[in-house]
Each structure stands twice: as C-alpha cells, then as structure tokens.
Structure 1
Amino acid sequence: MDEHRVGLKPIVGRQWAERGKAPIVRVAQRYEWLYVYAFVCPQTGDSLYWLLPTVNTAAFQAVLDRFAQDTQAGKTREIVLVLDGAGWHATPRLNCPLGIHLVFLPPYSPELQPAERLWSLTDAPLKNRHFDSLGALTDVLAEQCRRLEQQTQRVCSLTLFHWWPRIIRK
C-alpha cells in the first residue's frame, strides 16, 4: 500500500517527436493536488485505488476501513499490508481493522515497496497534458485506475519482485 500525489502541476515526460523538432507541451504551473491511495497484491496483480483530496491519518483510516471491508478481511481472512513509515501510517491514533496487519519497511527504502511501481502506470495518461481543473484530471485518473484494476498480469509483472514471498495454497 502506498500513496502518490498528482495535480495540476504538469508531469513532463519523454514523447515521440519528428526528428529535428522539439515537442511542445502546454504547461501552467498550478498547485492543486489529488492523492492516489493504492493497494496491490504482487502475487495476483489485484489492485485497488482510491482518489482523495488529502493525505492524513483520518483519510488513511477511512481508506483502510474500506479496504478491509472490500477484501473481507477479518477473523477468517488475514491480510498483511507493507507500508512505508509515513506519520499517518504509524500513528497510535490509527485503528487497524480486524484481519489487517501492518508491516513497515525500513526508512528510505522505496525500492522495496511494490506499490511504488504503480505510479508510472497511473501517471501515464497524465504526462505532457494540461488539465483546466482538478475535476478534469480526476476523471482521466479514475478511468486509468479502473483500467489498471483489470490489468492484473501487467500489474503483477511490475510488482512481484523475485524475493517477494509467494502464496502457498493448500
């Protein structure tokens, strides 16, 4: 599980252009943000996304509760979430739902977080584009997240590290 900030400040990236001609990207530096909360199961490629206007303990609690409900975590289904050490993840004010267990990565180790690999996929339709409003950006991003939830093989290929534990079914 991880969070990612996107907004009206454009994401400029490489793109194809005619030889000898520089591509033109319209930008308008504006600082309005939206946060993508993403959960991924590296073994299956299943992923879930939430778009929220902020990132804090209350927002994380709401998303965590909804995740537990959607995945039916509880007495009969245990889920281990790997998280970074963000303040809203590790606060004692967080009430972890039944069946959810939090495991924290060492500090400064984003390369160990499978969910970090999702951001190139979520950002893809936003690169080199100008959005007039946060609502317009939200529409494009929400559609991309819905597509990614269906692309389990693609997500699995990016997030299932060779050292990640494998699910053993009995």
Structure 2
Amino acid sequence: MDEHRLGLQPILRTVWAPTGQPLICPVHPRYEWLYIYAFVNPQSGESRFWLVPVLNKIAYQAVMAAFAQSVGAGEDHHVLVVQDGGGFHVPAPQGHPPGIETITLPPYAPELQPAERLWDLTDDTVANRCFDTLHDFTETLAQQCAWLETQPDLLSQHTLFHWWPLLRN
C-alpha cells in the first residue's frame, strides 16, 4: 500500500521527436492536488486504487476501511498490508478494520515497497499533458486506475520482486 500525489503541476517526460523539429508541450502549472491510494498484491497482481483529495489520518482510515470491505477482510480472512512509515498511517481509535494487519517498512527504503513501482504506470496517461481543471485530470487518472485494476499480469511484472515471499498452498 502506498500513496502518490498528483495534480495540475505537469509531469514532464522525455519523448522521441523527428530530428530538427522541436517538440512543444503546453504547460500551465497550478497547485491543485489529489492523492492516489493504491494497494497491490505483488504475487497475483490484484489491485485497488482510490483517488482522494487529501492525505491525512482521516483519509487513511477511510481508505483502509474501504479496502478491507472490498477484499472481504474479517475474522476469517486476514490481509497483511505492507506500508511505509507515513505519519498519517494511524489507525482509527478502535484499531484497523477486522482482518487487516499492517507491517511498517524501515524509513528511507522505498525500494522495498512494491507499490512504489505503480506510479510510472498511473502517470503514463497524464504525463506531458496540460489539463484545464482538476476534474478533467481526475477523470483521466480514474480511467487509467480502473484499467490498471484489470491488468494483474502487468502489475505483477512491476511489483513482484525476486525476494518477495510467495504464498504456497
């Protein structure tokens, strides 16, 4: 599980252009943001994405509860969530939803976080583009996230590290 901030501040990437022809990318930077909360199972590629306007304890608790419900976590089905040590990763006063357990990664170790590898995939459709409104940006990003949820093989290719412990029946 990880979070990623995106918004109307453009993401610029290098692209190929014909020799001698300049490539023009319109840019109109503004400071409006939204956050992607992403959960991925590296082995199966199963994923869940939420687009949320804020990054704080309340949003974290709401997304964690929605995630628990979406995967059917409960007394009979336990889910282990690997997360970084973000200061807002604070469970509700009554604790995480039933069936959710968390492991916090050591600080300054994003290379250990499989979900960090999702951000290039989410950024693909919004890179080198200029959006008029945050709503237009959100619509495009939501379509990309919905598509990624249907691509478990692609997500496994990006997130299943060689050292990741595999489940065996």
When normalised by structure 2's length, the TM-score is: 0.97
Letter in 1 for 2:67: F
Aligned twin of 1:49: 49
Aligned twin of 1:119: 119
1:50-129 pair list within 5 angstroms: 50-90=50-90, 93=93, 95-129=95-129
SS in 1 for 2:115: helix
Deviation at residue 14 of structure 1 after TM alignment: 1.3
Aligned twin of 1:159: 159
Contact 1:9 1:31 in 2 (8 A): yes
SS in 1 for 2:125: helix
1:37-95 CA-to-partner distances (Å, cap 9, x unmatched) read: 00000000011000010000000100000100110101111111000000111467573
- The RMSD of aligned alpha carbons is 1.2
Aligned twin of 1:142: 142
SS in 2 for 1:22: coil
Pairing 1:23–2:23 present: yes
Deviation at residue 19 of structure 1 after TM alignment: 1.1
Say if 1:94 and 1:5 are closer, same or farther in 2 by CA, change over 3 A. farther
Deviation at residue 29 of structure 1 after TM alignment: 1.4
Between structures 1 and 2, the one with greater helix share: 1
Say if 1:23 and 1:93 are closer, same or farther in 2 by CA, change over 3 A. farther
Contact 1:75 1:99 in 2 (8 A): yes
Aligned twin of 2:34: 34
CA distance in 2 between partners of 1:92 and 1:65 (Å): 10
Which 4+ stretches in 1 moved above 4 angstroms?
90-94
Number of residue pairs aligned between Structure 1 and Structure 2 = 169
CA distance in 2 between partners of 1:53 and 1:90 (Å): 18
- Percent identity between matched residues is 51
Say if 1:146 and 1:75 are closer, same or farther in 2 by CA, change over 3 A. same
CA distance in 1 between partners of 2:4 and 2:117 (Å): 11
CA distance in 2 between partners of 1:5 and 1:37 (Å): 9
| Structure 1, gaps ≥5 residues long | none
| Structure 2, gaps ≥5 residues long | none
Deviation at residue 15 of structure 1 after TM alignment: 1.3
When normalised by structure 1's length, the TM-score is: 0.96
